[in-house]
């Protein structure tokens, strides 16, 4: 009797077909599909407050804010992710006519979870760096006031950490200052 193992490698096209039919979201990296876990209340509150603040600040601009239901594709190694908060400017560029996979984010924000913190900080950031449109990457802690800000300057990514609720996260790409106290407005730390 032979045993057939579960399939572990998929093409990007196969992933998209499966993902567009799926009940739950999954990310795709190097041919592998990874189910996404749910988020905590704190994670969701921070995500919504960031998106709300940015949406208000960008209301009269050519930039738009979307949250984690829009997929982002990186290349040349094709991978797909669902960032917590995405900012794109001007016309969005999509992978195809389904309009659910963005190619040109200028800012990506991830709210850190204990299970994904190191991955978001390291491996996932390496994939995001391959997006020629990406100018800023922000990691937001959910268990303490701590925001890590990476901004591209020439060929290098500069890093700054903010931990004072009275500080402002300056997003130079979109000319906005986001108060840390507003990011953590509804969270008890």
Q: Is residue 14 part of a domain?
A: no
Q: Is residue 135 part of a domain?
A: yes
Residue 120 scores a pLDDT above 60 = yes
Q: Is residue 53 part of a domain?
A: yes
The pLDDT value recorded for residue 7 is 59
Q: Is residue 6 part of a domain?
A: no
Q: Is residue 80 part of a domain?
A: yes
Strand partners, 91: none
Q: Is residue 138 part of a domain?
A: yes
| Across 59-66, average pLDDT | 97
Q: What is the DSSP string of the chain?
A: ----PPP----HHHHHHHHHH-SS-EEEETTEEEEPPP--HHHHHHHHHHHHHHHHHTTTSSEEEEETTSEEEETTTTEEE--SEEEEESS--BSSTT--EES--SEEEEE--TTTHHHHHTHHHHHHTT-TT--EEEEE-SSSS-EEEEEEETTEEEEEEE--TT-EEEETTTTEEEEHHHHTTT---
pLDDT per residue over 140-185, tens digit each? 999 999 999 999 999 999 999 999 999 999 999 999 999 999 999 9
CB atoms near residue 18 (< 10 Å): 13
- Give residue 175's region: left, alpha or beta (phi > 0; psi -120 to 50): left
| Across 54-59, average pLDDT | 96
- Backbone dihedral angles phi then psi of residue 136, each to the nearest 5 degrees: -145, 140
**How many domains would you assign to the chain?**
1
The pLDDT value recorded for residue 189 is 84
| Across 37-64, average pLDDT | 95
Q: Is residue 98 part of a domain?
A: yes
Bond from prior residue into 76 cis (ω within 30 degrees of 0): yes
The CATH number that applies at residue 57 is 3.90.1570.10
pLDDT per residue over 81-103, tens digit each? 999 999 999 999 999 999 999 99
Q: Is residue 123 part of a domain?
A: yes
Which residue range forms the structural domain that includes residue 146?
A: 39-183
């Amino acid at each position: 009797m032979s045993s057939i193992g579960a399939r572990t490698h998929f093409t990007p096209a196969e992933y998209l077909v499966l993902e567009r039919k799926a009940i739950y979201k999954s990310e795709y990296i190097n041919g592998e599909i990874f189910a996404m876990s749910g988020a905590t209340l704190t994670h969701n509150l921070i995500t919504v407050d960031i998106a709300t603040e940015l949406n208000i600040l960008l209301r009269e601009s050519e930039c738009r804010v979307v949250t984690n239901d829009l997929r982002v594709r990186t290349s040349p190694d094709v991978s797909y992710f669902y960032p917590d908060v995405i900012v794109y400017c001007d016309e969005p560029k999509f992978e195809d006519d389904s309009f659910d996979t963005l190619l040109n984010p200028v800012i990506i924000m991830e709210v850190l979870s204990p299970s994904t913190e190191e991955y978001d900080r390291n491996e996932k950031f390496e994939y995001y760096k391959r997006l020629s449109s990406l100018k800023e990457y922000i990691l937001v802690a959910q268990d303490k006031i701590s925001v890590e800000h990476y901004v591209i300057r020439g060929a290098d990514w500069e890093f700054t950490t903010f931990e004072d609720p009275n500080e402002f996260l300056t997003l130079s790409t979109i000319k906005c200052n986001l108060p840390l106290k507003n990011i953590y407005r509804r969270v008890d730390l």
